[in-house]
Amino acid sequence: MTEPAASPVEPLASLAELELRAVLDAAVDAVVVIDASGTIETFNRAAERLFGYLAAEVLGKNVSMLMPEPHGSRHDAYLGHHLQTGQRKVIGRGREMTARRKDGTLFPVFLSVGRVAAPGTPRFVGLMSDISERRRVENALRRERDRAQAYLDLAEVILLAVDRTGQVTLINRKGSEILGWEERDLLGRDWLETCVPEAQREPARQLHNLVVGDIAAPGQYSEHEVITRGGGRKLVAWRHSPLRDELGTVIGSLSSGEDITERRQAEESLRKSEQLLTDAQAIAGLGNFEIGLDHEHTYWSREMFHLLGLPSLQTPLPLAEFVDRHVHVADRERLEKAWRSMVREGGEMDLGYRLVRADGHLRHVHSLARISTDPQGRRQVTGTIHDVTESQQAQEEIRQAQERMTQFARLSTMGEMAAGLAHEINQPLTAITNYSQALKRMLASAAEQDPEDIELALSQISAQALRAGEVIRRLRSFVKNREARTELIAPGRLITELLALVEPDARLNDIRLTVEMDEPLPDLTCDPVQIQQVLINLVRNAIDATNEAHALDREVLLEVRRHDGDVVISVADHGPGISAEVAAHLGDPFYTTKSSGTGLGIAISRSILRAHGGKLGHRPTPGGGATVFFNLPVISGRDQ
Phi then psi for residue 614, to 5 deg, are -110, 175
> From CA 93, how far away is CA 112, in angstroms rounded?
6
The answer to whether residues 506 and 512 touch, using CB atoms and an 8 Å cutoff, is yes
CATH topology of domain 9-130: Beta-Lactamase (3.30.450)
Q: Other CB atoms closer than 10 Å to residue 343's CB: what's the count?
A: 16
Q: What confidence score (pLDDT) does residue 640 get?
A: 44
Q: What confidence score (pLDDT) does residue 543 get?
A: 86
The answer to whether residues 372 and 382 touch, using CB atoms and an 8 Å cutoff, is yes
Q: Following DSSP, what letter does each residue of 79-111 receive, concatenated?
A: HHHHHHH---SSBTS-EEEEEE-TTS-EEEEEE
Sequence-distant (6+) residues with CB within 8 A of 549 are: 574, 575, 576, 624, 625
3-state secondary structure of 358: coil
CATH class of 405-633: alpha beta
> From CA 336, how far away is CA 316, in angstroms rounded?
18
> From CA 51, how far away is CA 34, in angstroms rounded?
16
Q: What is the tens place of the pLDDT at every residue in 265-284?
A: 888 887 887 777 777 777 77
Q: Following DSSP, what letter does each residue of 453-482 receive, concatenated?
A: HHHHHHHHHHHHHHHHHHHHHHHHHHH---
Burial 504-536 (b: 16+ CB within 10 A, else e): bbbebeebebeeebeeebbbbbbbbbbbbbbbb
9-130 and 139-259: same fold? Answer: yes
47-55 contacts at long range (C-beta below 8 A, 24 or more positions apart): 47/128, 50/99, 50/101, 50/109, 50/128, 50/130, 51/99, 51/100, 51/101, 51/102, 52/101, 52/102, 52/103, 53/102
Q: What confidence score (pLDDT) does residue 225 get?
A: 92
The reply to whether CATH 3.30.450.20 applies to domain 286-387 is: yes
- Cα→Cα distances 517→154, 491, 493, 507, 561, Å: 87, 9, 12, 21, 6
Q: Other CB atoms closer than 10 Å to residue 312's CB: what's the count?
A: 11
Q: What confidence score (pLDDT) does residue 593 get?
A: 58
Q: What is the pTM of this model?
A: 0.40
Q: What confidence score (pLDDT) does residue 74 get?
A: 85
Low-confidence ranges of the chain (pLDDT < 50): 1-10, 12, 591, 637-640
Q: What confidence score (pLDDT) does residue 453 get?
A: 64
The CATH number corresponding to 139-259 among 3.40.225.10, 3.40.50.720, 3.30.450.20, 3.50.50.60 equals 3.30.450.20
Q: Domain spans of the chain?
A: 9-130, 139-259, 286-387, 405-633
